[in-house]
Structure 1
């Protein structure tokens, strides 16, 4: 048997090399970028719309996150903080009147709302009005006895509601909102006509027009939107109770214009309908006031407020209505009040 002898070489000594220092991060990335792109390869131009590299910002600066401007757009404006309202200066007018008149705060407010106080020669009716060095004068004839509720009589135009609903921007006559084609514009509210500009110059009363006269007005008597005539607005609870509790017995007088010439015999169908117990109609008196070949005027006296009743009776007689006007409510007449204007209810007038 032959033996094989293996000769082992001595182990080489391990020599530890000193660590090679690493370049800074910025310097280490630069050769890598050069190696990827190549020194001889030209840099490609930036694509259209791509954001340009921004210059290095100093440490500590901060740019708010904002939407980058698109091509063709200008810089995005930053939202501005609204200015703070200036604080109110001076004192309330009611406090000044308290010192001037030596009265309570409630009485001072009543003097101001009554139109007895002037600031620099101008009547001011708001107790919260701020004054500082202005000249404040009180009318020597100032009295709190005139702070009584008022009642306004309006000659409502055709196409306006009777004012039983509250005043809103749409039914006050402002343009309707657009968006839906063919949308109908709501009718205007008769309350929108109760302004100092629409006060009748021929008002038989000597009542001064004040801002408080247009507050807390209540309407209780209905009138068709297509009709014109007398409408009542009141601040007096006694007038409101009269117009509601006695409405069924209060007489309403209308002048109705119909098409064509009308003879007394043409009103017989209306009489038959009023006598029909199945219809249960209120008391109505109808007569021919005037007639011409083109049109005729009928007079209706109805107990109570019944919108639509006149149209129903005219349809029974085959009459076409051209116009309708309420000229009297109880014992209060419309008289010569122009359409669209109002006046005060006089002290001697009773419903």
Structure 2
């Protein structure tokens, strides 16, 4: 029984076998590392060499599988993303725009929602992603205890944490929550307010901590009284409850809320108690959620560019993968104060 052969001297069975990266390398007369560089569109490959490799790929109809590529490059071009198991606008917007940036860089993203956003739950999520051989891990942090834990981990892949902190770190990427908060409070001071309250986010949230620090420092710089801080859980419902309590006491003429949803709840509570915003109380939020400009009144707030944040996170990831020894402490992204109708000079007749 005879066996037909293909043009390269192999059997017909072999000719039907899917080509691999080593077949491409042999046909093009280069190393498999060079083929990998062409496949990943990396620099330092001569034009003529790149052309030979591309011709060999076309001739062999080679289509690299993720597993094969990972075997040769030791990379999967996959990034693990851990997000809190909440519907909060900030973390979700961060995750969305990071996915866009990763896709533009030709990486895929495996997302894990951490229902238990404590050190134990986050560590379990990290371990599950490491078993999938991701190239790096991005963690959106909502708890300072988690931040302390992950910064102390000795991991086999780079980790980038999205969290505001007063302490610089090469592993952190964030908005400048502190200066954004100071700008919000400064706006109220420039309008003439001297009694400015703060309704903060959760006490353990890094973003809330930095916004509260900015509020306090701006008041201290201007030698204004610092009232006791009230906390809410980022939601309009919790903001409404705090606003109801505030309406009974009216201890200030302006309120800086830690996010727009808290501000929305406060505005609703004050309005229901017969108070007017901004005539009786001025309110500033933080985040510039899409509906902020359509509230009654439209909300003065601090805008954050999530598209820029997603790109910065991806840039940090790429540097960590390609140049693991490079020191790169990121400068927090600037925020922008958006002045709308919820703030005005204090009313002399306000209660």
Whether TM-score is above 0.5 comes out as: no
Specify which structure has the higher proportion of helix: 2
TM-score (norm 1): 0.29
Which has the higher Rg, Structure 1 or Structure 2?
1
Specify which structure has the higher proportion of strand: 1
